[in-house]
Amino acid sequence: MTNAMTSERQLVTARWRGVTLAACAAMSLGACVVETRPVDRINAVQATTEIAANQLLDVGVQLLDPNVPDDEKTQENQKIFPDVRKAESRYMPMRLRSTLEGTGQWGQVRVVPMEEDSLDVMVSGKILESNGMDLKVEFTVRDAAGRIWFTKVYQAPADTRSYRDTSGRPRDPFQNLYSEVANDMLAARQKLATNDLESIRRVSDLRFASDLAPYAFKGYLKQDKRGIYQVQRLPAEGDPLPARIQLIRERDYAFVDTLNEHYALFSDNVAEPYQNWRRYSYDEIEQETSARRSAMSRKLLGAAAIVAGVVAGANSNTYVGSAAATAGIIGGVYAIKSGFDKAAEAKMHSDSLKQLGQSFQSEVQPMVVEVEGRTLQLTGSAEEQFHEWRRLLKELYENETGIPVSAPDAVAGQGSEGNAARR
């Protein structure tokens, strides 16, 4: 009898130790944060020789599509804060612009509110994910001739060294992503022949002129079966109209440069709060993930402890066995309660993340500027203001040339030579 009791006691003790160790292990899951290996830094390729002026392509980087779902529940599940995304759609193009400019591989690099067919190279994109821990953006690059250089989804984890940098000007935690885009653009450009690069510049000039004065520049460009623009003819030597068009284009560049100054000021103003938001967002997501994992483990192991206790109690006819079974059940209940506490902690981190987003939203209020006597609001209406600016350019063209933008059918297609002759 004594031997039987001893064996049972040893069996129950072994079961209880196993349950206890498992529960303790579960409770410790949320207490430590795993350090990740620093991300290898990628740098954009720098120009080592001067690029010929007739091959130096200008680049336009369009404001990104913030890609905000309409459903608020989806926004919450994906940790998307609409005003933060709208700020990112302006901030990220400025980061790419700075990266491209810093390489010396391109001409002027400008951020534009909408897609521009008349710029040498156009970059557009959509934010797929951005939460301080990971960044995923889809970029499309095409040239004025209509060639799509590439469409590619870029994804990069945060370089946490940037979050620990207290120098005041830390490297962007996702600079690797912008460097990859710059390097891919360079590789795509290097595949083009010299005459292709020169043709892109001519096509961009003629597409701007055609947009400004469609009838005057009809027939200068033609699209082939692939949709690629080819130059059919150039303005006659001595024709004053191209020179006037160029002056208007310089004013357009001045407008866009003014717009870029305000985008740059906006980026500088939000850089610090945005960096803080990303840093705290990273921490909150990491802690929330850890808390949820720990909560699930505790609930599962708690349930296992209860089952083990019930089974041990059912198979025991002694006081010691019943006491151990009861202890196992109590321990399991505690583990489950601890799991629910961890779930509540995860909810707290999620709410904290939402509050961080809302506090950042207060830092990114719309900026209103005066350009050419017109009020330009750098929010969703920027595209409308840009359309208005282009309308003013056409008025400017009419005033300077005396030629209406929309010409009668009788004179349509005569070209700029015919218009010059009438003057």
For 289-309, write each residue's pLDDT tens digit: 666 655 555 545 545 544 554
How buried is 19 (Cβ within 10 angstroms: 0-12 exposed, 13-18 middle, 19+ buried)?
A: buried
Ranges of residues in the chain with a pLDDT under 70 are: 1-37, 168, 289-385, 401-423
Q: What is the pLDDT of residue 16?
A: 40
Beta carbons of 207 and 185 less than 8 angstroms apart: no
Q: How far is CA 157 from CA 61, 141, 293, 299, 403, in A?
A: 23, 23, 21, 31, 55
Q: What is the pLDDT of residue 144?
A: 96
Stated pTM of the model: 0.72
**Cα–Cα distance measured from residue 28 to residue 24, given in angstroms and rounded to the nearest whole number:** 6
